[in-house]
Amino acid sequence: MWRRKSPTEMEFNTIRVMIRIYCQQHHEPENELCADCSDLLNYAADRLDKCPFGEKKPTCENCTIHCYQPFRREQARKVMRFAGPRMMWRHPILTIIHLIKVRNEKRNTL
Ligand SMILES: [Zn+2]
């Protein structure tokens, strides 16, 4: 699931980094992620794989379809709220690419 360099892969890398930051601060996992957070990451990967926009996918923040189940969405929102600002310091390039993409999309929809 990490093979393609595509919008979905970018998005997946971003969420993977965020979940890892969140999990390490909250759950002190023995491995990279605790069981709950691995579940969430697998869920996110599965959603991305099935994303109807495919390679033309917008970032999930700007997406018009909210495809997550309410429970997963709440989980993902918590992770992003916590990890978003922290990601800037650990993965500045990834964060900047992501932010530019979000901004361009917003501009295009005006
Ligand atoms: Zn965790």
108 or 79, greater pLDDT: 79
Q: How far is the CA of 55 from the centre of ligand 1 (A)?
A: 29
Helices 70-90 and 7-26: angle between axes, nearest 10 degrees: 90
Percent of the chain clearing pLDDT 70 (strictly above):
94
- pLDDT for residue 67: 86
Dihedrals φ, ψ of 57, to 5°? -60, 130
Q: How far is the CA of 4 from the centre of ligand 1 (A)?
A: 26
Q: How far is the CA of 11 from the centre of ligand 1 (A)?
A: 19
* 37-88 pLDDT per residue, tens: 999 999 999 998 888 887 788 777 777 777 889 999 999 999 999 998 898 8
Q: How far is the CA of 31 from the centre of ligand 1 (A)?
A: 10
Tell me how many degrees the CA angle 103-53-19 measures, rounded to the nearest 5: 65
Q: How far is the CA of 23 from the centre of ligand 1 (A)?
A: 4
- pLDDT for residue 107: 82
pTM: 0.80
Does residue 1 register a pLDDT over 50?
no
